[in-house]
Amino acid sequence: MDAKTLIQKLNVPFANLPGKLDATSSEQFCAQFKELFSSSAARNARSVVYIWSTTVPIPRLRSQSNVVYIGKTLNTLFERHHKYASVEANGKELCNWQRYEHIIQNHGPITISYAVHANPANAEKDLLKLYFDEHLELPPLNRKY
């Protein structure tokens, strides 16, 4: 199930953060991550559910999908993610960057779609359940739901 299908199933208007993550180094990724999550959209949208996706689908246990992460926050995307830029780019001896590098090189840039939602926790749970039912596993960057 791709990001577009998931977005349609939630039946709320989604928007995209301006820009994408297409870095070729951990330093560039950190800078792009900070820039993306510093945008006015990331600073202003509060109580959101969001989907990170690529342009090229990733093989899953069953079928394929361009969704790499599904999340939510009661705060803004800036408050939720901006402070983690260096962890995402350099955490655990660069293993986080290795994952992002592989995704970007093999499946294209990562973009972030988001929707303001009255209950982002329920929306995230619904999206993860839809994804799991289709693929028998969670998106590659999600650990649990």
User: Do the beta carbons of residue 41 and residue 17 sit within 8 Å?
Assistant: yes
**What domain range includes position 100?**
3-135
Counting the structural domains of the chain, the total is 1
Domain annotation covers residue 42: yes
Domain annotation covers residue 67: yes
Residue 145 has pLDDT above 60, yes or no: no
User: 65 has which bridge partners?
Assistant: 58
pLDDT digits (tens, 9 = 90+) for 17-55: 999 999 999 889 989 999 999 999 999 999 999 999 999
Domain annotation covers residue 129: yes
pLDDT digits (tens, 9 = 90+) for 89-143: 675 556 788 889 999 999 999 999 999 999 999 999 999 999 999 999 999 999 7
DSSP result, 125-142: HHHHHHHHHHHSS--TT-
14 contact partners, CB below 8 Å, separation of at least 6: 7, 51, 113, 114, 115
Domain annotation covers residue 110: yes
Domain annotation covers residue 143: no
Q: Give pTM, 2 decimals.
A: 0.92
Kindly state the tokens that stand for 97. 């960057």
Domain annotation covers residue 145: no
Domain annotation covers residue 49: yes
What is the number of other CB atoms lying within 10 angstroms of the CB of residue 10?
17
Domain annotation covers residue 118: yes
- Provide the pLDDT for residue 28: 92
